[in-house]
């Protein structure tokens, strides 16, 4: 007999060898129907696993993240089986579950088309209907190699060879299909109810662009058709928040064919930009920063000295002036360093914090451009902090606080990554270790959760990255804090210490918004174009009901403008309903309806975006309320 402890604390006893599924069926038949896998003694197991020892048991359903992963993992096996049936020559690479679905990478002489999706989905439905049991089998390395050799599955062979010695090698079989897989899986293919293939893409074997490009098919699956429909509907809704679409609809920016990756800001987009910059300047003065502006084009010798010439050249644009080589800056740091070097500094001056809204240009590969999120010219809200080694932790913490203050103001949630030494790094391992430890320490002292992003640091130092989400849940790095011991060395930066000797300062490179362009993209999606009043390109639109109210409307507009509000009047000869709809579609925070009643009583009828009619107020009352909302920079 084995003793089983359930999640709710209940205890059960079963004959040894009873499967997990049999257990659930005995104490919760309803749960058994929903069950997809289980956790036994902190290990994920199949429902078909026979239990032969005491332990704690938790049943996983589609509602659990891990349950969902198992569900999608079996789904991708079903897809692979279908593809193998239809295209016997394909070789399988890998096929994991991902955040909202799954994919499988195939190597095939024939290229798949979206038309093939119909056939594959049909075959998947057949496999689901056949309801094959999914059976786990543990084999020796030799057996596994032999099996996949015999099937000419060279990628599987490569995967097995890469498995560490002593690792359990398991196979999962369903009908005629077998795959190398750690599991766990659903008990049978019939468990998958609604599956859909969503897209087709190329992907390099093992994610390395030197390797062969495989064909990746993405899909998703759910236990109910309604859930799939709901998911697809949500995707459609999310697309309406896409900043590229809203940017066009709201007249914020354009990207012309004449300048791929080089955005143009339109008058309305410039208002948002300028508001963000105003806030930035105010906060930076408060935090003890000074502002500088450094040139966009600087001589080659500077970039050779900074290391960009060796480590960043493929991302840079170049030009020639009077037969000398110059580069268009991809980063602001060398310029900031020249400012620091302009004169001798005492330890008493440190830390020196030099902020710069610097326009940088980077050559990005054509395939990566994406609206305002990934462009070839962008403005970094940069700053370079020069400090004593003893000031490192407090300066990093200061920047972390600032990032948090900014992001909270907009209501963003974000996640943090610590990026370590990349392959093409400058400097010794020791310097990198010291710098990375300093960043880690600051994060720990602030009690911030973070994930390690191995090898993603800048070439001159490790960094803390702050990531924000777009409307389709893709994440984009915005803020970053980079600790740099190497540039001060390269440029022979010094300060005079208490002892009268010259010492080496430490540098921090950091951005809060990251790139103003990307940040505006994220903001647009976050607010679905309904910017808080302080950021809204038009804050108030006055809607006179008939032509005889135009003078009154204009008088109010003038009053609002004089108070510094961004107000305009809609003088078109249209019905009120039409003008209101247009105002709502344009996401204008306040519409002021003015007709006979308002002229009579010297009021305005206030309509708040998404809330409707708030009733009549005096102009003074309205201005006081909106003024307060703006100066508090409320996001609500």
Partner RNA sequence: GCCGGCGUGGCUCAGUGGCAGAGCAGUCGAUUCGUAAUCGACAGGUCAUCGGUUCAAAUCCGAUCGCCGGCUCCA
Residues 192-211 that bind RNA (CB under 7 A): 199-204, 207-209
Q: Which of 273, 374, 384, 421 forms a contact with RNA (CB under 7 A)?
A: 374
Smallest distance from RNA to CB 370, Å: 5
Measured between its terminal Cα atoms, the distance across the chain in Å is 60
Contact track, RNA, 127-166, x by CB under 7 A: ----------------------------------------
**Of 4 and 591, CB closest to RNA:** 591
Per the CB < 8 A criterion, the answer to whether 372 and 326 are in contact is: no
Helix (H, G, I), strand (E, B) or coil at 324: strand
**Of 39 and 216, CB closest to RNA:** 216
CA distance 453 to 433: 15
627, two tokens: 């003024």
Q: Which of 46, 381, 395, 517 forms a contact with RNA (CB under 7 A)?
A: 517
412, two tokens: 């963003």
Full DSSP string of 529-592: T---TTT-SS-EEEEESSGGGHHHHHHHHHHHHHTT--EEE--SS--HHHHHHHHHHTT-SEEE
Stretch that binds RNA, among 44-52, 173-181, 385-393, 511-519 (CB under 7 A): 511-519
Within residues 319-348, the interface with RNA by CB under 7 A covers: none
Within residues 409-448, the interface with RNA by CB under 7 A covers: 422
**Of 162 and 321, CB closest to RNA:** 162
Smallest distance from RNA to CB 321, Å: 25
Per the CB < 8 A criterion, the answer to whether 405 and 397 are in contact is: no
Q: 65-86 and 114-130 helices cross at what angle (nearest 10)? A: 110
Q: How many CB atoms lie within 10 A of CB 623?
A: 19
**Of 130 and 310, CB closest to RNA:** 310
Q: What's the angle, vertex CA 567, arms to CA 565 and CA 571, rounded to 5?
A: 165
Annotation says 503 is catalytic = no
Residues near RNA (CB under 7 A), total = 77
Q: Which of 101, 427, 514, 537 forms a contact with RNA (CB under 7 A)?
A: 514
Stretch that binds RNA, among 141-149, 189-197, 362-370, 551-559 (CB under 7 A): 362-370
Nearest to 382 by CA among 363, 399, 364, 365: 399
Smallest distance from RNA to CB 509, Å: 9
Within residues 237-256, the interface with RNA by CB under 7 A covers: 242, 244, 248, 255
Active-site residue, from 81, 215, 380, 391: 380
Active-site residue, from 73, 362, 376, 541: 362
**Of 41 and 108, CB closest to RNA:** 108
Smallest distance from RNA to CB 507, Å: 15
Annotation says 463 is catalytic = yes
CA distance 250 to 529: 8
Within residues 25-84, the interface with RNA by CB under 7 A covers: none
Stretch that binds RNA, among 41-49, 59-67, 77-85, 364-372 (CB under 7 A): 364-372
Within residues 565-624, the interface with RNA by CB under 7 A covers: 573-578, 580-581, 584-585, 591, 593, 595-598, 605, 607, 610, 612-613
Q: Which of 369, 448, 496, 625 forms a contact with RNA (CB under 7 A)?
A: 369
CA distance 621 to 389: 54
CA distance 447 to 467: 17
Within residues 544-563, the interface with RNA by CB under 7 A covers: 545-548
Nearest to 339 by CA among 316, 318, 356, 360: 356
Contact track, RNA, 379-408, x by CB under 7 A: -x----------------------------
Smallest distance from RNA to CB 100, Å: 10
Per the CB < 8 A criterion, the answer to whether 153 and 171 are in contact is: no
Smallest distance from RNA to CB 634, Å: 20
Stretch that binds RNA, among 53-61, 75-83, 124-132, 542-550 (CB under 7 A): 542-550
Stretch that binds RNA, among 13-21, 110-118, 121-129, 284-292 (CB under 7 A): 110-118
Annotation says 8 is catalytic = no
Annotation says 81 is catalytic = no
- Per CB under 7 A, 213 contacts RNA: yes
- Per CB under 7 A, 268 contacts RNA: no
Within residues 462-491, the interface with RNA by CB under 7 A covers: 465, 472, 474, 476-478, 480
Per the CB < 8 A criterion, the answer to whether 533 and 254 are in contact is: no
* DSSP structure class, residue 315: G
Active-site residue, from 179, 333, 421, 467: 333
- Beta-strand ranges (E) seen in 184-305 are 194-204, 213-222, 253-254, 264-265, 290-291, 297-299
Q: How do beta strands 317-321 and 324-328 pair?
A: antiparallel
**Of 185 and 509, CB closest to RNA:** 509
Smallest distance from RNA to CB 203, Å: 4
**Of 37 and 93, CB closest to RNA:** 93
Q: How many CB atoms lie within 10 A of CB 210?
A: 7
CA distance 22 to 18: 6
CB under 8 Å to 395, separation ≥6 — which residues?
351, 385, 387, 508
Smallest distance from RNA to CB 269, Å: 15
- Beta-strand ranges (E) seen in 445-539 are 450-453, 463-469, 475-484, 495-496, 502-503, 506-515
Stretch that binds RNA, among 80-88, 138-146, 406-414, 514-522 (CB under 7 A): 514-522
249, two tokens: 């609809």
**Of 188 and 569, CB closest to RNA:** 569
Smallest distance from RNA to CB 549, Å: 8
Nearest to 271 by CA among 566, 631, 627, 585: 566
**DSSP H or E segment with residue 259:** none
Annotation says 382 is catalytic = yes
Within residues 216-235, the interface with RNA by CB under 7 A covers: 216
Number of residues written out for the chain: 636
Sign of the dihedral through C-alpha 448, 452, 453, 456: positive
**Of 150 and 610, CB closest to RNA:** 610
Smallest distance from RNA to CB 482, Å: 8
Smallest distance from RNA to CB 35, Å: 31
Which residues participate in catalysis according to the annotation?
333, 362, 380, 382, 384, 463, 509
């Amino acid at each position: 007999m084995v003793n089983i402890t359930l999640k709710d604390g209940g205890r059960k006893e079963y004959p040894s060898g009873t499967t997990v599924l049999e257990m659930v069926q005995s104490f919760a038949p309803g749960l058994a129907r929903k069950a997809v896998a289980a956790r036994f003694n902190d290990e994920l197991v199949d429902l078909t696993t026979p239990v032969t020892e005491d332990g704690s048991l938790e049943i996983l359903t589609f509602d659990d993240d891990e349950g969902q992963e198992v569900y999608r993992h079996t789904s991708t096996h079903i897809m692979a089986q279908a593809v193998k049936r239809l295209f016997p020559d394909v070789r399988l690479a890998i096929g994991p579950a991902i955040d909202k679905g799954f994919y499988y990478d195939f190597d095939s002489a024939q290229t798949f088309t979206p038309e093939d999706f119909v056939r594959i989905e049909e075959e998947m439905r057949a496999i689901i209907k056949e309801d094959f049991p999914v059976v786990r089998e543990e084999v020796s390395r030799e057996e596994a190699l032999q099996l996949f050799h015999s099937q000419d599955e060279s990628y599987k062979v490569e995967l097995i060879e890469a498995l560490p010695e002593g690792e359990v090698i398991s196979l999962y079989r369903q009908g005629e299909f077998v795959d190398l897989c750690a599991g766990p899986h659903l008990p049978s293919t019939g468990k998958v109810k609604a599956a859909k293939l969503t897209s087709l893409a190329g992907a390099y074997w093992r994610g390395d662009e030197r390797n062969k490009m495989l064909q990746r098919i993405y899909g998703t699956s759910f236990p109910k058709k309604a859930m799939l429909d709901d998911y697809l509907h949500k995707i459609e809704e999310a697309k309406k928040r896409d900043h590229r679409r809203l940017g066009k609809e709201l007249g914020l920016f354009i990207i012309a064919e004449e300048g791929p990756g080089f955005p143009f800001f339109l008058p309305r987009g410039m208002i948002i930009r300028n508001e963000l910059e105003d806030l930035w300047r105010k906060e930076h003065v408060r935090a003890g920063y000074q502002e500088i502006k450094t040139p966009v084009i600087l001589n080659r010798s500077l970039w050779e000295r900074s290391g960009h010439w060796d480590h960043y050249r493929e991302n840079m644009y170049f030009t020639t002036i009077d037969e000398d080589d110059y580069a268009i800056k991809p980063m602001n740091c060398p310029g900031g360093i020249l400012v620091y070097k302009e004169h001798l500094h005492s330890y008493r001056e440190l830390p020196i914090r030099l902020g710069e809204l610097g326009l940088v240009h980077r050559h990005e590969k054509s395939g990566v451009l994406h609206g305002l999120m990934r462009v070839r010219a962008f403005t970094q809200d940069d700053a370079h902090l020069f400090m004593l080694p003893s000031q490192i932790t407090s300066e990093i913490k200061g920047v972390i606080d600032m990032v948090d203050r900014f992001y909270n103001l907009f209501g963003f949630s974000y996640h943090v990554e610590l990026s370590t030494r990349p392959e093409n790094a400058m400097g010794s391992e020791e310097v990198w270790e010291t710098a990375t430890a300093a960043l880690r320490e600051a994060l720990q002292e602030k009690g911030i959760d973070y994930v390690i992003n191995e090898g993603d640091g800048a070439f001159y130092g490790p960094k803390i990255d702050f990531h924000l989400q777009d409307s389709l849940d893709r994440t984009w790095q915005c803020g970053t804090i980079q600790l740099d011991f190497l540039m001060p060395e390269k440029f022979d930066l010094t300060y005079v210490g208490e002892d009268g000797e010259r010492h080496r300062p430490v540098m921090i490179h950091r951005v809060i918004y990251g790139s103003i362009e990307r940040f505006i993209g994220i903001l647009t999606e976050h607010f679905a174009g309904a910017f808080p009043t302080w950021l809204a390109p038009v804050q108030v639109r006055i809607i006179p009901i008939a032509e005889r109210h135009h003078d009154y409307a204009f008088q109010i507009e003038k009053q609002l403008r004089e108070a510094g509000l961004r107000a305009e009047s809609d003088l078109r000869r249209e019905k009120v309903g039409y003008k209101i709809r247009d105002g709502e579609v344009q996401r204008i925070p306040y519409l002021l309806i003015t007709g006979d009643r308002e002229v009579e009583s010297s009021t305005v009828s206030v309509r708040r975006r998404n809330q409707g009619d708030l009733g009549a107020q005096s102009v003074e009352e309205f201005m006081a309320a909106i003024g307060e909302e703006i100066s508090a920079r409320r996001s609500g």
